[in-house]
Structure 1
């Protein structure tokens, strides 16, 4: 039995290495000088002649890519703050509008509820390419194109966080709600004192997943934003020239750090959110 367990652990380790290896490789390349990086992978990355030499670790480690990115690249910081201006208002709006909607859909039974849930699911699985033209026309009609609101407003009304929070609110035992009503608590008191605390793992899960989605969004800003000074950080990497390949690896690491740190912080909430869907009285 122990031997079988060891084989299982070994197999899982091999599978996980497939995911982690590209990240380790990217981190190693970010500490390489540009000349060493071109010498190793220039045949692929910059179109130079020769063979590709695989090197996980740099022979001559240097911090010059990070120095150039953080000290000599003002465009990087402009796009970084653009991402903050776009992502955090989206998450705040999803909380402000999404939680009451999810509470109503998760806790109340009313005429048309099933249709609304079906509509939410259709909108949730519908790719951006399907709604791109209609969204563009609506934003143009309201003169919101080429502004931060062109990304913020559609993100606020995204149906995915409402769907997740609805499941979290629906998992709250009815006995708690009935006991609160017997004690004289009103619906608003129940929502703030029982609903939000007990559904907090699902709410945080929705926010973590929303941050990961909008921090890395590419298609929406490319479609709705024409002025480069409004572009988010996700569009910084495609604009790095081939003679600064090491800077692109460094930018990838820096851009990935907020998402990784947030995921590590919210991992327990994600697990609790999944477990909460099976909560029973």
Structure 2
């Protein structure tokens, strides 16, 4: 009976994991299919043919042609890939330089307005992009930053979400440690750099990992602020799917997923350590 309960307890998360991974497995399998096989399976969806679409987990006639065409015959893919790297890297650097000091200030400052200001931060975090899109557009237009990568980086660099995450981890640092550093003669900047950043590093890395996963795949901001296609990130390479280029799009989807999966795998231990750091008590 005990073994049966353990098996049933593992059954649900196993099924849930398979459900989550199934679309990715289908995309990977489809990226190795030829045009004829894709049209045979997805013709009713992509080509307007009669009947029902179907999808095979494994290709019947595997081919590397979609990857060859993407990596050797699609120079715009590499331009958009580099644009994604610049945008995501610039945003994360900005969030690190702006968000970490802001989170430290909220965690250390215990004035009367601290709760009010932090509440305002939370409200701003809850606002979706669609709410602030028009105001952002007008400000960027006034600063002549439309159709530039800086116009995407600057608004995102001042995002409140990483501040919220880092703040929670900075609050988990024992106050006795900070007081000891102050008694030893360290100023606030030294306490932040030599104690706050190392002890709150898990929170900083957590914010960076989550930020990368968000901004690597962003679509709405580039569509709104970038009219020049040569400035578009990789996320805008994927929505255009036509019947004869379905394999190319699936191969691009797989390659687009790889950096996100790699960053998540490398940052997973920081996320776990960050959860533990948030539970520190004096």
- Considering the TM-score relative to the shorter chain, is it more than 0.5? yes
Provide the secondary structure at the position in 1 that maps to 2:239: helix
What's 1:159 paired with? 160
C-alpha distance in 2, partners of 1:241/1:141? Answer: 38
1:242-266, Cα deviation, whole Å (9 max, x unpaired): 3100111110000010000000110
TM-score by length of 2: 0.97
Deviation at 1:150, TM superposition (A): 1.2
2:70 is paired with a residue of what secondary structure? helix
For the Cα contact (< 8 Å) 2:32–2:62, is it kept in 1?
yes
Structure 1 gaps of 5+ residues are none
Measure the CA separation in 2 of the matches of 1:154 and 1:175: 36
Equivalent runs, 1:194-273 vs 2, <5 Å: 194-273=195-274
Alignment correspondent of 2:79:
78
Counterpart of 2:150 in structure 1 is 149
Q: Which residue of 2 aligns with 1:68?
A: 69
Q: Where in structure 1 do 4 or more consecutive aligned residues deviate above 4 Å?
A: none
Native 8 Å contact 2:81 2:234 kept in 1:
yes
CA–CA distance in structure 1, aligned partners of residues 88 and 114 of structure 2: 30
Unpaired segments ≥5 residues, structure 2: none
The 5 A counterparts of 1:76-225 are 76-225=77-226
CA contact (8 A) 2:92 2:212 kept: yes
State how 1:20-31 maps to structure 2 within 5 Å.
20-31=21-32
Partner in structure 1 of residue 41 of structure 2: 40
Equivalent residues of 2:27, 2:254 under 8 A apart: yes
- CA distance in 2: counterparts of 1:97 and 1:12, whole angstroms: 39
Shift of 1:82: 0.8
CA contact (8 A) 2:39 2:243 kept: no
**Paired residue total:** 281
User: After the TM superposition, which of the residue ranges 252-261 and 53-62 deviates more from structure 2?
Assistant: 53-62
2:11 aligns to what?
Answer: 10
Contact 2:124 2:160 in 1 (8 A): yes
CA contact (8 A) 2:46 2:242 kept: no
Q: TM-score, normalised by structure 1?
A: 0.97
The Cα shift of 1:155 comes to 0.8
Q: CA deviation at 1:45?
A: 2.6
- CA-CA distance at 1:207 after TM superposition: 0.3
| Distance in 2 separating the partners of 1:41 and 1:108 | 58
- 8 Å Cα contact 2:31-2:248 kept in structure 1: yes
- Cα deviation, residue 40, structure 1: 1.2
CA distance in 2, matches of 1:112, 1:221: 36
CA RMSD between the two structures: 1.2
